[in-house]
């Protein structure tokens, strides 16, 4: 009976190690997240464990790729005024990005990270201090929701912005200072609920 109990404990312990290793954070994404943490200022962000899949606001898939980066209302500020696009661009499996309700003050004019996030479905950068114009297009044909409301964005919304947004169901850019007409490309059969 004691041997069966020891075998059972050994089985549970070894299966925990195996499952933890399956979900361990991808090393390149770990480095990108550490760089992101260096560009952001927040007393609430405490990313210290070895596996970034266990960090607050981070969710990984079974293969260890970061799929969710959700840090709303964390008092985040950008050091140096440059949006941390290079570190976000390396999170190539990201499906959900929520940095809303922070104090991120930077220009979106030069952000190329949108273009590399091919799996992005949810983008919420609302209630920050972001300024500049929107990128020329959305990052992904998978994108379903974009919320850039309550920032300091301006200019016109490019007609190419919605070119690949076949799954877009929610687009909120209220409380900004956009000018010009709303592009007709927003009205696609698949996005009839917009």
φ and ψ at residue 116, rounded to 5 degrees: -95, -5
Residue with tokens 């379903």: 144
19 touches 53 (CB < 8 A): no
DSSP 117: -
Domain ranges of the chain: 26-191
Tokens linked to 54: 């266990």
Q: What is the pLDDT of residue 111?
A: 62
Write the DSSP assignment of 81-103 as a string of letters: G---HHHHHT-TT--EEE--SS-
- Identify the three-state secondary structure at position 70: strand
Q: What is the pLDDT of residue 151?
A: 97
Q: What is the pLDDT of residue 157?
A: 87
Q: Which letter, b or e, does each residue of 101-138 get, where b requires 16 or more Cβ atoms within 10 Å of its Cβ? A: bbebebebeebebbebbebbbbbbbbbbebbbebbebb
164: left (phi over 0), alpha (psi -120 to 50) or beta: alpha
Mean pLDDT by 10 residues, the chain (194 residues): 53 50 80 90 83 96 97 91 81 96 86 77 96 83 94 90 87 94 72 50
For 26-191, CATH gives: 3.80.10.10
Q: How far apart are CA 61 and CA 68, in angstroms?
A: 9
């Amino acid at each position: 009976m004691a041997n069966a109990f020891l075998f059972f404990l050994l089985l549970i312990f070894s299966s925990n190690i195996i499952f933890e290793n399956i979900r361990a954070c991808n090393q390149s994404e770990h480095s990108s997240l550490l760089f992101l943490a260096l560009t952001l200022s927040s007393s609430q962000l405490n990313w210290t464990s070895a596996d970034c899949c266990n960090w607050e606001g981070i969710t990984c898939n079974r293969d260890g790729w970061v799929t969710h980066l959700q840090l709303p209302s964390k008092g985040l500020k950008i050091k140096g005024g440059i949006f941390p696009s290079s570190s976000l661009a390396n999170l190539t499996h990201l499906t959900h990005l929520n940095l809303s309700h922070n104090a991120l003050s930077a220009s979106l004019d030069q952000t190329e990270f949108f273009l590399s996030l091919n799996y992005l479905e949810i983008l919420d950068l609302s209630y920050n201090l972001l300024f500049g114009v929107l990128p020329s297009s959305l990052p992904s044909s998978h994108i379903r929701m974009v919320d850039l409301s309550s920032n300091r964005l301006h200019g016109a919304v490019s007609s190419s912005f919605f070119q690949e947004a076949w799954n877009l169901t929610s687009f909120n850019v209220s409380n900004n200072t956009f000018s010009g007409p709303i592009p007709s490309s927003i009205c696609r059969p698949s996005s009839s609920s917009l």
